[in-house]
A and B are shown apart, each in its own frame.
Chain A
Amino acid sequence: MKNEPAIQAHGLTRRFGELVAVDHVNLVIPKNTIYGFLGPNGSGKSTTIRMLCGLLTPTEGDAEVLGYRVPEQAEILKQRIGYMTQKFSLYEDLSVRENLEFMSRIYCIPRAIRKQRVEEALAIYDLENHVRQFAGTLSGGQKQRLALAAATLHKPDLLLLDEPTSAVDPRSRRNFWDNLFALVDQGATILVSTHYMDEAERCHRIAILDHGQVAAEGTPTELMKTMDSNVIEVESQQPMQVRAALENYTDINSVTQLGALLRVLVNKSVADPIDHIKDRLEQNKLVVNINTTHPSLEDVFVTATNKPTHPETGVNP
């Protein structure tokens, strides 16, 4: 039981009419980790999370969450998971305390410890100065802390967080992740979706989703090591021209401009990427400075999501 993964999914698929939102996704999410879904909007992150907590019925495939089959056993599962929606979904016309008290009752936390749990949550998530404030008047960061407090009141074994930091500032995001690590330390498993690279980098494992498919999966370090592109930095006085000269080659996965620098992802099939690029630029009479550098998670993301998509799934909702 102990070594069983928190979430297992096999061939999980969801269609909305013609659109395939999630396309045969396989997942094994180990317990006691933070697992990230990284992907652009419409890549199927939300739909996958909603299927895993039983909100949506998969069109195909099956999933087991904390040992319960979803969606069949979703109702039992709900007492053991915490869920945070993309949009703030607590009651804006109730105060911070009223919201937490309401959720504590909804989860049937025994009366004896209910008050204590609410007080604890207020302290942990730094909401003590806002107990009587209406949730609707909180700032983005405060709202998000309240939502996390509400989702963890019943001490769930699994937390499903759907883009929890999309509406908060960088400092609040840092604090939020500290809270997540504290929860994992207490034994929880967390599945979080994001489109921020820095957040994905902090996860134990990530799955890069693109067009409803898992484009890459592993620990962030693994993914950077095994990425099938080499990263070349090109320094030039005419970055725009360099960029134009390098685009439209199939062995160059992407060119990204960072000020005067260009970050070029060259396919690993190219034996000597530096010479390869130099040749091309000299043909165009462009003078540049070229170095290899370490890949970042963003490079992994760009490489993984630049792969040609299946024609039937190449739709972006």
Chain B
Amino acid sequence: MKCFTRLFAIIGKEALQLRRDRLTFGMIFGIPMLQIILFGFAINTDVRHLRAAVADQSTTQLSRQLIADMQATQVIDVVTQANTGEELKNLLDRGDVHVGVLIPADFERRIQQKDRAAVQLLVDGSDPIVLATARGLTGMQFLQHTDDSYNQAPRLFEVRNYYNPERRSSVFVVPGLIGVILTMTMVLFTAVAIVRERERGNLELLINTPIKTAELMIGKIIPYVLIGLIQVSLILFLGVKLFHVPVVGSLVDVYLAALLFIFANLTLGLVISTLAKNQFQAMQMTFFFFLPSILLSGFMFPFDGMPRIAQHIAEILPLTHFVRLIRGILLRGAELVSLLPEVYALCIFMVLTIMLAIFRFNKRLD
């Protein structure tokens, strides 16, 4: 690259066009804000206040205390009363409630017997998250202040929750969200960047000048690196301010990891732009890549729970490695050097894709 003028010419031109492209410019800020609000507030796996119905056939002081205790856990809100188990089931069937509590007439006697359950929980298990939450109720301790003769059974496990003591899902979601948003925007920006020049006819002129492929490729991605870093800052800021996401590790490590990930996505975008014939195809290919990224990377579902084949596919995706990196750094305070395998994986991905992009792009029309 004897003449850096050409590289800077591309960077400068790209920045100028970007500034004038209102839609793209809006996406830089719009996508992170929308996503963080969506994922942070709406997509919440720590379910509380499930609508519940109670059929208290015992109507004793003890049963009323149980109901009060259950409400106090905030897991359920008793919204209606029923008389029989049949009525509870009808309420569940209609979707009026997600949980039914059946307290039998012999509740007080049953509670003394260790081999029989005292209360029946009817749960709408169609949503596994609701089911899991309702099951959590069974672990509830019921202290009978009036009857000292009843002793609690010793607990087998005691769970100590590290890193996210309040079990707020936003803490877990937001770091991964940095990766998801970058995947979405970075790949798309560069995927469209070269295709658009081809569509508008600019490319035929450009490839007839002495510009080198590498200059064109690198010049195209540099402005977006900056945009990626702005997005990272925006998501981090919103995450900390709105959802009190802890930043346990070093910010330098966060940005280094993000930088690497940004490059990996931009180079992937370049590959797409050398494959796509028009902007629509570029969008389709980006989406084709985006969906497995979001589903398999461990952002949405735990990596360990996925079938082996899905795990292998996930290892190819840069988002998988970035999610591990960023959760490690932000939530566990891990240092980048202790996560080297993920760093290497991203580096390899980046080098391979840029090579593929340069190889695929030639300065000919045939």
Contacts and interface: CB of A to CB of B under 8 A. Distances in A.
B210 interface: yes
Interface stretch (B4-12, B63-71, B239-247, B253-261): B4-12
B202 A55 contact: no
Contact of B201 (A83, A87, A102): A87
Interface stretch (B15-23, B265-273, B331-339): B15-23
B204 A54 contact: no
Interface string A154-166: 0000000000000
Interface in B190-213: 200-202, 204-211
A55 B17 contact: no
A56 B210 contact: no
Nearest to A75: B210
B9 A105 contact: yes
How many residues of A sit at the interface, in one of the four size bands?
20 to 34
A108 interface: yes
A71 B364 CA distance: 9
Contacts of A53: 208
A88 interface: yes
Given A85-B204, A87-B201, A107-B210, A102 B365 contact: no
Given A55-B364, A55-B365, A56-B365, A107 B204 contact: no
Contact of A105 (B8, B17, B205): B8
Contact of A108 (B5, B205, B207): B5
B208 A78 contact: yes
Contact of B20 (A71, A74, A81, A93): A93
B86 interface: no
Contacts of A74: 363
Contacts of A79: 210
Contacts, number: 73
B204 A89 contact: yes
A78 B364 contact: no
Given A89-B202, A102-B13, A57 B6 contact: no
B17 A93 contact: yes
B366 A56 contact: yes
A74 to B, nearest CB: 8
B65 to A, nearest CB: 71
Interface majority SS (helix, strand, loop, mixed), chain A: loop
B309 interface: no
Contacts of A118: none
A55 B6 CA distance: 20
B210 A108 contact: yes
B3 interface: yes
Contacts of B21: 93
A108 B12 CA distance: 14
A57 B206 contact: no
Nearest to A16: B366
A247 to B, nearest CB: 41
Contacts of B9: 102, 105-106
A98 B208 contact: no
How many B residues touch the partner, as a band? Answer: 20 to 34
A57 B366 contact: yes
A91 interface: yes
Contacts of A19: none
B211 A55 contact: no
B6 A105 contact: yes
A155 to B, nearest CB: 14
Interface string A49-62: 01001111100000
Nearest to A94: B16
Nearest to A102: B13
A153 to B, nearest CB: 10
B267 to A, nearest CB: 23
Contacts of B16: 94, 98
A68 to B, nearest CB: 13
B208 A108 contact: no
B365 A94 contact: no
Contacts of A81: 208
A106 B4 CA distance: 10
Contact of A94 (B13, B201, B207): B13
A107 B209 contact: yes
A106 B208 CA distance: 11
A186 B124 CA distance: 86
Contacts of A55: 204, 207-208, 363-365
A71 B17 CA distance: 32
A79 B209 CA distance: 7
Nearest to B209: A106
A90 interface: yes
A107 B205 CA distance: 12
Given A105-B5, A108-B6, A90 B204 contact: no
Contacts of B5: 105, 108, 111
26 contacts: A50-B365, A53-B208, A55-B207, A56-B365, A71-B364, A78-B210, A83-B205, A87-B201, A89-B200, A89-B201, A89-B204, A90-B202, A91-B202, A92-B200, A94-B17, A102-B9, A102-B13, A103-B209, A105-B8, A106-B6, A106-B9, A106-B210, A107-B209, A108-B5, A108-B210, A111-B5
Closest A-B pairs by Cβ, 5 of them: A105-B9, A89-B205, A89-B201, A83-B208, A108-B3
